[in-house]
Chain A
Amino acid sequence: DGGITQSPKYLFRKEGQNVTLSCEQNLNHDAMYWYRQDPGQGLRLIYYSQIVNDFQKGDIAEGYSVSREKKESFPLTVTSAQKNPTAFYLCASSINRHNSPLHFGNGTRLTVT
């Protein structure tokens, strides 16, 4: 079955460590996205990529980095510069078409202590 796989589901890290969240899709979608969700907040866009080897900052990119070396993969690194990294992270993909919905993975819950 086609879909988006995020791993791991739960991730725990010590403050000051970088951590990389995995996102893989086999839907053959060109565009991929990373969103962050905090309690009481909607989804906020961190980074997005519309084609391989290209990506753009979203609304809250500070303290995060991404790469898009393959169409199927869009890993997100949460760096030690991110002041409040504990959150629920959602990866999504879509066709580059305006009426195309985003397809989401099941998310990674990151806890930094």
Chain B
Amino acid sequence: AQKITQTQPGMFVQEKEAVTLDCTYDTSDPSYGLFWYKQPSSGEMIFLIYQGSYDQQNATEGRYSLNFQKARKSANLVISASQLGDSAMYFCAMRDSGGSNYKLTFGKGTLLTVNP
């Protein structure tokens, strides 16, 4: 069974600084994908970034990058130059190859607060 762990219930960061949100995962499948989502207080889920288990390089999307350490089974999200609008819940999720199963399993999330 796959499992996602986000150990930081809440994080604070000053505007314009970088912040790292932790995510560790557990799977015995060699083929899997890791996703990060942002959920503002409005409730919508916004896809941020994807990392495949066979990708050679860490994924980046604008101010978002993924620090992927396969041996440690961690996929931490790094947000650079934090903005007030980055304040939200952040969820890490995983999909393994599981046959033809395409469902995502989510962690419990980290609430990020960006201070001015």
Residues in chain A within 8 A of chain B (CB atoms): 31, 33, 35, 40-45, 48, 50, 58, 88, 90, 92, 94, 96-104, 106-107, 109
B residues near A (Cβ < 8 Å) are 4, 6, 9, 31-33, 35, 42-45, 47, 50, 52, 91, 93, 95, 97, 100, 102-109
Q: Given the interface contacts A42-B109, A98-B33, A99-B52, does A104 sit within 8 Å of B103 by beta carbon? A: no
Least CB separation from A44: chain B residue: B106
In the complex the two chains form, is B33's CB within 8 Å of A99's CB?
yes
**Cβ contacts under 8 Å, A42 to chain B:** 4, 6, 91, 106-109
CA separation between A58 and B47, bound complex, in Å? 21
Cβ A43 vs Cβ B95 within 8 A:
no
CB distance from B107 to the nearest CB of A (A): 5
Q: Is the CB of B97 within 8 A of A98?
A: yes
* A106 CB, min distance to chain B CBs, angstroms: 5
Among all A-B residue pairs, the 6 with the closest Cβ atoms: A104-B45, A42-B106, A101-B47, A42-B108, A43-B106, A107-B43
Minimum distance in angstroms from A27 CB to a CB of chain B: 13
Selected from A45, A88, A92, A101, the residue in CB contact (under 8 A) with B105 is A45
Residues of A within 8 A of B47 (CB): 101-103
Q: Which residue of B lies closest to A98 (CB)?
A: B33
Contact of A40 with B108 in the complex, beta carbons under 8 Å: yes
With A41-B108, A90-B45, A106-B43 in contact, is A98–B95 under 8 Å at CB? yes
Residues of chain A contacted by B106 (CB below 8 angstroms):
35, 42-44
A43→B107 CA distance, assembly (Å)? 7
What distance in Å separates the Cβ of A88 from its nearest Cβ neighbour in chain B? 6
The chain B residue sitting closest to A90, CB to CB, is B45
Interface pair B52/A58, CB less than 8 Å apart: no
Q: Which residues of B contact A96 (CB under 8 A)?
A: 100, 102
Besides A43-B45, A98-B32, A101-B47, 14 more A-B contacts (Cβ < 8 Å) are A42-B4, A42-B109, A43-B93, A44-B106, A45-B104, A48-B102, A90-B43, A97-B102, A98-B31, A100-B102, A101-B35, A103-B47, A104-B45, A106-B44
